[in-house]
């Protein structure tokens, strides 16, 4: 067991990857789809532009209805099967599940106060069409702490081994496939002892065009990135050389999607690099540019926020632009380890430690 409690000690490989981050504070694992949602919310910083205000009416406020057959549920469960993996010892799996059950049934000794705090779960998906079964590509909690004058971003690792209400043990990102944003909210609240009520969801298909609207980004392309970028970007958006260079929207999206050449740690570093570039671009964009982007984005947003709540956010966010930004990832460093069940890789983690850390981060 780890020094933090009941979670097993992370593998040596995982610890080496953590050290490579060279970051003293907690870090956010920001999936590239969640970057879209963050960008959309940042666009509300414009000073109540009428077109942006009117675009609120084009948002999809209807709850997502998901009804899967038993066969489709099984298909979701088998998406990440990797025959090259070796299963964890049965005793380790039994221990992980018994500890999870014990935590879920127990009362924890801390409470989360939400006074002067706004929480919205940002969900990014890679759904290709309306009928496709899609898991959440990324999940990030946006916390606006008005009292402390801070924006807090908490990212949740997609492969966390959790209990989904009505579906049992699974990966966190499967909750969205089974029951949309509502079930994903329930799952996070249940497994981390929080009470998040609001979410916003968007597909990454909007990402490339928004980056183009911002004029693209300058990013440092390593030699080993080229093959992966060109694989995802398409034949009309090929990157021909390595080095610091201007990338268009399709190329930036491909930059964020790089997966196979290194670890998820490096992948999320690249995504944070893109996020910082987006922040800089949004702050320097003109009112007209931002208003055009809001108008384009809103019809592709699904949320359980009401129109009045979104309008309240619009009036609030101009004062938020100078807030400090704090970042966190769940699970936090030193509290998670590998778990392989039926050739599927999961992230096992110390639930009590992470629930306490998340509660303190949100309300502290």
Listed in sequence order, the residues at least 6 apart from 180 whose beta carbon sits closer than 8 Å to its beta carbon are 63, 64, 65, 66, 201
With beta carbons less than 8 A apart as the criterion, state whether 141 and 120 touch: yes
Q: What pTM was computed for the model? A: 0.77
With beta carbons less than 8 A apart as the criterion, state whether 204 and 32 touch: yes
Q: Give pLDDT tens digits for 2-48.
A: 333 344 443 444 334 333 332 222 223 334 444 445 555 555 444 34
The neighbouring-strand residues paired with 151 are: 144, 325
Instruction: Select the highest-mean-pLDDT range: 43-52, 145-154, 215-224.
Output: 215-224
Higher per-residue pLDDT: 341 or 128: 341
Domain residue spans in the chain?
Answer: 12-204+297-363, 215-284
Residue 301 has pLDDT above 70, yes or no: yes
CA distance 160 to 69: 24
- Topology alike, domains 12-204+297-363 and 215-284: no
Please state the φ and ψ torsions of residue 244, each to the nearest 5 degrees.
Answer: -70, 125
Percent of the chain exceeding pLDDT 90 equals 36
| Average pLDDT along the chain | 78
Q: What angle do CA 270, 130, 157 make, to 5 degrees?
A: 30
CATH architecture of residue range(s) 12-204+297-363: 2-Layer Sandwich (3.30)
> Residue 14: what pLDDT?
38
Q: Give pLDDT tens digits for 250-274.
A: 999 889 878 778 766 677 678 777 8
What is the CATH class of 215-284?
alpha beta
The neighbouring-strand residues paired with 243 are: 221
């Amino acid at each position: 067991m780890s020094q933090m409690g009941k979670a097993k000690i992370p593998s040596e490989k995982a610890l080496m990857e953590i050290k490579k981050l060279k970051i003293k504070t907690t870090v956010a694992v920001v999936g590239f789809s969640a970057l879209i949602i963050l960008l959309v919310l940042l666009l509300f910083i414009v000073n109540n532009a009428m077109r942006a205000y009117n675009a609120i009416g084009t948002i999809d406020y209807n709850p997502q209805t998901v009804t899967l057959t038993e066969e489709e549920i099984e298909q979701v469960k088998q998406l990440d099967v990797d025959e090259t993996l070796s299963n964890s010892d049965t005793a380790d799996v039994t221990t992980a599940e018994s500890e999870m059950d014990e935590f879920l049934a127990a009362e924890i000794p801390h409470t989360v106060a939400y006074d002067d705090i706004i929480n919205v779960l940002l969900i990014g998906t890679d759904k290709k069409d309306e009928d496709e079964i899609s898991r959440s590509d990324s999940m990030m909690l946006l916390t606006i702490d008005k009292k402390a004058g801070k924006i807090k971003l908490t990212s949740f690792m997609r492969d966390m081994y959790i209990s989904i209400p009505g579906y049992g043990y699974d990966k966190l990102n499967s909750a969205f496939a089974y029951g949309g944003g509502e079930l994903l909210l329930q799952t996070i609240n249940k497994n981390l002892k929080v009470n998040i009520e609001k979410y916003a969801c968007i597909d990454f298909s909007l990402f490339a065009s928004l980056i183009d609207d911002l004029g693209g980004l300058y990013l440092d392309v390593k030699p080993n990135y080229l093959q992966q970028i060109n694989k995802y970007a398409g034949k009309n958006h090929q990157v021909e050389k390595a080095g610091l260079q201007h990338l268009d929207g399709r190329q930036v999206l491909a930059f964020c999607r790089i997966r196979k050449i290194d670890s998820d740690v490096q992948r999320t570093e690249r995504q944070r690099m893109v996020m910082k570039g987006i922040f800089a671009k949004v702050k320097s964009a003109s009112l007209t540019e931002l208003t055009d982007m809001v108008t384009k984005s809103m019809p592709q947003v699904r949320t359980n926020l009401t129109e009045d709540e979104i309008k309240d956010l619009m009036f609030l966010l101009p004062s938020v632009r100078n807030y400090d930004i704090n970042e966190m990832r769940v699970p936090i460093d030193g509290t998670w380890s590998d778990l392989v069940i039926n050739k599927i890789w999961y992230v096992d983690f110390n639930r009590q430690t992470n629930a306490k850390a998340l509660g303190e981060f949100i309300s502290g």
